[in-house]
Amino acid sequence: MEPETLEGIDHLTTGGIYSVYIKSDEEGRARFYLTKIVALEVNVVHIVVYHDDFLTRPTVENVPLASVCFEGDMDIDEARSRHLAVSRRLFSLMRPVYFGQSAITDAELSGYRKWKIMDSADVMDAPPTFKGGSQKDTLLRIFLVYGIPFGALQGAWFFFHHGFFMALLVFCLSAAIFGGGMVLTQRLGVIRRLKKSPGHDPLALTEAMSAFQMAETRLPVPISKAFKQCRQAISSIKNVRITLEDALAGTIEAEVKTGLSAEGESISIALYQIDSGNCGVVVTSVPRKGGELDLGKNHENVRSILDMLEKSSMAL
């Protein structure tokens, strides 16, 4: 039996090659891979992941399209091991960008064919909800990231001038005062932004405390229309610059300029088709340099985009 598809409305294509973000290396740098969609179903995307990884998104200018394939009997085992059945939602969170199109080889299909006859055909999926770390963990990280280095610098100076015990005392006091000050700064900054936001919810304080924000919504429109709404919503953020948009893959990426009170943010929107009348939207906002102290700016970015999408949906 043929798999159920979204024929006629699908923004993804079989044979389509997409660059995707899959993981970071040990130094925290992004790693991108090229993948090809070998089969599409309503809830599942079947892909093969090619060998090489990249620190920046590969393009046809630096990677020849003809070199991206598995072919020949000797590649079948490799292709099978590199086959992944992932949910559409998870594929969208890989931030795919369309790279090119090529015919699907028998080797590339071998993993999908094996998956079809397996008794337990597993599908990888993202967590059902996105929950940030606890408020306690977030504040502890801020305390350690800012308090310990400051205390160490102060302690080192006193060690060379006044000895070990004075250095230890100064280290403890400096770390506690400076780290505690940064924690208080973050908390007050988040509370201030929450009070300014429409429909202020005091219970949002816990989730807003983290600088790493991700949230999801559903729009009752086809993905082509949702993509336009998302582009308008992300453009409404002050000092934002869209760095990448790909309607063929459902991915938008943007950066917010560094300001006096923030180090700048990276914002991404990932869209995926649910059915003919609905699509999912995942909005992410994180610090561009990985810091913890954002004064609630990333939470504000995500809420502003979701609020604008909600308003546009209600106007339909």
What percentage of the chain has pLDDT greater than the value 70? 87
Q: Considering the chain, what is the average pLDDT of its residues?
A: 85
Task: Give span(s): CATH 3.30.530.20, the chain.
Answer: 211-316
Q: Tell which wins on pLDDT, 258 or 267.
A: 267
- Three-state DSSP at 118 gives coil
pLDDT value of residue 72:
65
- Pick the most confident of 128-132, 226-230, 275-279: 226-230
Cα 209 from Cα 132, distance rounded (Å): 9
Give residues with Cβ within 8 angstroms of 36, minimum separation 6.
Answer: 15, 16, 17, 18, 47, 48, 50, 68, 69, 102, 104, 108
**Model pLDDT, residue 203:** 57
Whole-number pLDDT of residue 74: 56
The stretches of the chain forming alpha helices (DSSP H) are 76-81, 88-93, 106-116, 135-142, 148-162, 164-196, 205-208, 223-235, 297-314
Cα torsion 24, 29, 33, 37: sign: positive
Instruction: pLDDT band for 141, please (50, 70, 90 cuts).
Output: confident
Which residues, listed in sequence order, are joined to residue 242 by a DSSP beta bridge?
254
pLDDT score recorded for residue 31? 86
Query: Given a cut of 90, is residue 121 above it in pLDDT?
Result: no
CATH number for 211-316: choose from 1.10.510.10, 1.10.240.10, 3.30.530.20, 3.40.50.300: 3.30.530.20
pLDDT at residue number 119: 76
- The pLDDT tens digits for 46-99 are 999 988 888 888 888 888 877 777 766 557 888 888 899 999 999 999 999 999
pLDDT above 80 for 268: yes
Determine the average pLDDT of the residues in 226-255.
Answer: 93
What are the phi and psi torsion angles at 100 (to 5°)?
175, -175
Determine the residue type at 52.
Answer: D
On whether the CB atoms of residues 289 and 264 are closer than 8 A, the answer is: yes
Residue-level pLDDT at 78:
80
Q: What's the confidence (pLDDT) of residue 27?
A: 62
Torsional sign, CA 75, 81, 82, 85: positive
Q: What pLDDT, in 10s, does the model give residues 154-212?
A: 999 998 888 889 999 999 999 999 999 998 988 888 888 888 776 556 556 777 888 88
